């Protein structure tokens, strides 16, 4: 098994011999065997152990066991205790997902802070098969059916050449001690249900199921490479990226068949799932403005495009306000504004640039206020003596939802004097009677 382990590392190009690897060791049989193989192969490694405290005394005993293992192997060890139940409640995700997220984030931090080349987990071929079925039932598409990859970013899986029975045989022949996780015997979790209920039935139907499924996973992985090439070609034609948002052309999207599959592949990197796809497609014939949300992004149905934006953790209930006083010459926030004042020259003609506002200073009431627009706001567009709702101005000028949300207005008292970067109010324009000019320039 040691020779196969070494060969697998070389064939899969997991890491170089001089690289130092962070081993994720729970104390179970798989991680203990992985540690032993690294030791026998003379590879550089340290151990990392997560104590989630989900099994009380058992979890503390696991931690002690891993400490003793590190001492025995004379390697460094990192230990961290987590509160996955609290994180689960805060993030509104399952405890299993919470534990996984906490573990991965910690390993990534250790990689970045301590200079390790990679971190390794002890998943083996039976885990691969179980993951295949988990993803199959979740409906993750072809990307989920390729199973666990041998290498993904900083993460490597050096035991994906061996089945559980081989690992058990190696542990027995080498007299390895390890911890039994009592939760593995329960069927509360999806993986355990597959392991203890589904797999035995499949094995009864075909005792050689493991090798057959492993081959199928390998074929699916190769097919996915071809599939991905086509998706990337389409993505390059349909996705438009600019500084405001990522756009999907609706007209070009409808040229694709099957549209559902292509749309899923285009939006799944932004954490949208297949159930979102049909809802989005059903909205394409409706009016603009409908929004769809994933955990990290939103999609806005606009006139000609689907706009994809990162949502972050903005508090949309807060409507900040900023001010321009009579002494200000430059404003940094919320937009960069250069401000100047001067006596109007004879025959002065304001520049016709939307990034500059020339206003009659004697009509202004200071401090001027900078704020977001709100329902009911209106102004008198430059050149017009009739008021217009801002919402109608946005529609007439084909503002997208993100553009409306990012637009600032400047007011004098309760009156709008400038839609920043777009149009001034006609009441504050420069006239023959104007004596003093107040100039505001939007700086990129």
Asked if 110 and 49 touch (Cβ cutoff 8 Å), the reply is no
**Between β-strands 337-343 and 330-331, what pairing exists: parallel, antiparallel or unpaired?**
antiparallel
Name the burial class of residue 376, with classes exposed (0-12), middle (13-18) and buried (19+) by CB atoms within 10 angstroms of its CB.
Answer: exposed
> Coil, strand, or helix at residue 344?
coil
Name the burial class of residue 337, with classes exposed (0-12), middle (13-18) and buried (19+) by CB atoms within 10 angstroms of its CB.
Answer: buried
Q: How far apart are CA 293 and CA 276, in angstroms?
A: 9
Task: Please say whether the dihedral angle defined by the alpha carbons of residues 150, 152, 158 and 163, taken in this order, is positive or negative.
Answer: negative
Q: How far apart are CA 103 and CA 48, in angstroms?
A: 10
Q: How far apart are CA 129 and CA 110, in angstroms?
A: 29
pLDDT for res 319 = 59
pLDDT for res 312 = 61
Residue 226's contacts (CB-CB under 8 Å, 6 or more residues apart) are none
pLDDT for res 315 = 43
pLDDT for res 314 = 46
Enumerate domains of the chain plus CATH numbers.
Answer: 2-209 (3.40.50.620), 242-310 (3.30.465), 322-442 (3.50.40.10)
Cis peptide leading into residue 359 (ω within 30°): no
Asked if 202 and 33 touch (Cβ cutoff 8 Å), the reply is no
Number of other residues whose CB lies within 10 A of the CB of residue 436: 14
Number of other residues whose CB lies within 10 A of the CB of residue 287: 8
Torsions phi, psi for 440 (to 5 deg): -125, 125
Asked if 331 and 287 touch (Cβ cutoff 8 Å), the reply is no
pLDDT for res 317 = 45
Cα 315 → chain centroid: 18
Number of other residues whose CB lies within 10 A of the CB of residue 17: 11
Q: How far apart are CA 137 and CA 197, in angstroms?
A: 15
pTM for this model (two decimals)? 0.60
**What b/e string do you get for 395-430 counting C-beta neighbours within 10 Å, with b at 16 or more?**
eeeebbbebbeebbbbbbeeebbbbbebbbbebbbb
Asked if 121 and 157 touch (Cβ cutoff 8 Å), the reply is yes
Low-confidence ranges of the chain (pLDDT < 70): 182-188, 243-244, 312-319
Q: Looking at the DSSP assignment, which residues form a beta bridge with residue 442?
A: 337
Q: How far apart are CA 62 and CA 27, in angstroms?
A: 6
Q: How far apart are CA 293 and CA 442, in angstroms?
A: 32
pLDDT for res 313 = 46
């Amino acid at each position: 098994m040691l020779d196969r382990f070494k060969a697998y590392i070389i064939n899969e190009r997991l890491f170089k011999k001089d690289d130092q690897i962070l081993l994720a060791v729970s104390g179970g049989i798989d991680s203990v065997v992985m540690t032993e193989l690294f030791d026998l192969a003379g590879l550089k490694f340290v151990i990392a152990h997560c104590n989630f405290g989900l099994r009380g005394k058992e979890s503390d005993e696991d931690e002690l066991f891993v400490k003793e293992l590190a001492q025995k192997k004379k390697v460094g060890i990192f230990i961290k205790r987590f509160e996955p139940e609290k994180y689960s409640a805060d993030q509104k995700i399952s405890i299993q997902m919470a534990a996984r997220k906490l573990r991965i984030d910690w390993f990534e931090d250790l990689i970045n802070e301590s200079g390790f080349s990679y971190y390794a987990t002890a998943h083996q071929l039976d885990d691969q098969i179980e993951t295949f079925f988990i993803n199959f039932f979740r409906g993750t598409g072809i990307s989920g059916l390729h199973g666990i990859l041998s290498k993904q970013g900083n993460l490597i899986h050096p035991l994906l050449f061996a089945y559980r029975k081989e690992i058990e045989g190696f542990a027995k022949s080498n007299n390895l001690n390890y911890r039994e996780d009592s939760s593995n015997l329960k069927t509360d979790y999806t993986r355990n249900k597959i392991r203890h209920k589904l797999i035995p039935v499949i094995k009864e139907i075909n005792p050689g199921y493991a090798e057959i499924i492993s081959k199928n996973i390998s074929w699916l992985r190769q097919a996915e490479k071809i599939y991905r090439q086509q998706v990337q070609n389409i993505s390059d034609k349909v996705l438009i990226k600019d500084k405001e948002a990522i756009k999907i052309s609706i007209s070009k999207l409808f040229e694709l068949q099957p549209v559902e599959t292509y749309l899923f592949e285009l939006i799944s990197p932004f954490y949208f799932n297949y159930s979102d796809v049909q809802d989005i497609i059903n909205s394409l014939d409706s009016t603009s403005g409908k929004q769809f949300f994933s955990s990290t992004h939103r999609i806005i149905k606009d006139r000609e495009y689907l706009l994809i934006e990162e949502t972050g953790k903005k508090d949309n209930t807060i409507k900040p306000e900023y001010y321009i006083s009579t002494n200000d010459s430059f404003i940094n926030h919320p937009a960069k504004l250069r401000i100047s004042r001067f006596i109007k020259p004879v025959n002065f003609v304001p520049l016709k640039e939307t990034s500059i506002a020339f206003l009659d200073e004697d009509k202004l009431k200071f401090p001027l206020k900078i704020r977001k627009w709100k329902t009911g706001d209106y102004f008198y567009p430059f050149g017009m003596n009739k008021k217009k709702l801002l919402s109608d101005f946005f529609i007439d000028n084909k503002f997208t939802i993100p553009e409306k949300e990012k637009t600032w207005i400047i007011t004098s008292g309760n009156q709008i004097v400038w839609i920043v970067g777009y149009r001034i109010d006609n009441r504050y324009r420069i006239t023959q009677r104007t004596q003093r000019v107040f100039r505001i320039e939007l700086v990129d």
